[in-house]
Amino acid sequence: KRDSGQYWPSIYHTMSSPCSAMAYHHDSRRIFVGQDNGAIMEFHISEDFNKMNFVKTYPAHQNRVSAITFCLTSEWVISTGHDKCVSWMCTRSGSMLGRHYFTSWASCLQYDYETRHAFVGDYSGQITLLKLEQNTCSVITTLKGHEGSITSLWWDPVQRLLFSGASDHSIIMWDIGGRKGRTLLLQGHHDKVQAICYIQLTRQLVSCSADGGIAVWNMDISREEAPQWLESDSCQKCEQPFFWNIKQMWDTKTLGLRQHHCRKCGQAVCGKCSTKRSSYPIMGFEFQVRVCDSCFESIKDEDRTSLATFHEGKHNISHMSMDISRGLMVTCGSDRIVKIWDMTPVVGCSLATGFSSR
């Protein structure tokens, strides 16, 4: 802050390659900047924030760095990149400790500092759970549920919940701690979900999409898990054959019908048996989806009450970050605009005191 009362940039550092990812560790004032050339540069910020000292360069990847996290206790910098790998390096020596490769670009990363588990999302739509050791790692499980590339991840170590956003416009909550494989599907965006943040104090999930949509989901209620889609050669309501069921079409002398699925019961149905559309927020469907006629009759008006609030960011949101302690959110977009939002009226509590108006 200058004598005039205005703030001016104190530091301007030109990198050798365009910057693609960044991680800042508040307590140690260390900043890690990933670049398009695969390198990660570490800087140390002075106490008055008026100087940035170069520390070292890490040869982490062969291609663009997509995500970085720093663990102070183990002195590791962990990163993912477009060279289809996750790497972890020692910040004391600057040397590579280990790498693990995937079948497609690694796009995002979350890390559990206590257990050394890493969650890596990739462009194929898979999330891989890895246990990192000093020089090796083991694959614990692979989570499959998205139909598009994983664009954002959020790990809540308290409730042990993993949230993933994807280019298929959906969000999935994975109950990692429950070990039941329970997943909740949330569909309320009309473009790819670019950023997510779970507020553990109020049990709310904030998500932002590329079209500027901002959603605040109420996760403090008992939600229903979306059913698996059932497979059948004929409509499970009227028993008319689907178009690939040549035998039944020949036997009944009828033309085959196109297959659809009811989002509420998961049954395979024809178009005539699923003429209705309905929202069903308790299962995560905030806008109207296809349901069979019998499920439509079973949905009451109160069942259609929204369990999320939707807001217009009015710019293409590429990244979002929440300061939960102050209830502030910052969004930046490909339109070169940065916006700061006061989220306290939306999340329904004073986050600093923990007092909930609900």
Contact yes or no for 207/165 (Cβ under 8 A) = yes
172 CB-contact burial (10 Å; exposed 0-12 / middle 13-18 / buried 19+): buried
pLDDT tens sequence across 33-42: 999 999 999 9
Three-state secondary structure along 277-302?
Answer: EEEEHHHCEEEEEEECHHHHHHCCHH
pLDDT of residue 9: 67
pLDDT tens sequence across 303-313: 888 888 899 99
Q: List, in order of start, the domains of the chain with CATH numbers.
A: 19-224+305-347 (2.130.10.10), 246-304 (3.30.40.10)
Which residues of the chain are under the pLDDT cut of 70? 1-2, 9-10, 178-182, 348-358
What DSSP character marks residue 273? T
**How many Å apart are CA 175 and CA 120, to the nearest integer?**
16
Q: CB neighbours of 88 closer than 8 A, spacing ≥ 6?
A: 76, 77, 78, 79, 97, 98, 132
Tell which residue, 349, 281, 352, 332, has the closest CA to residue 310. 281
Task: State the pTM of this model.
Answer: 0.84
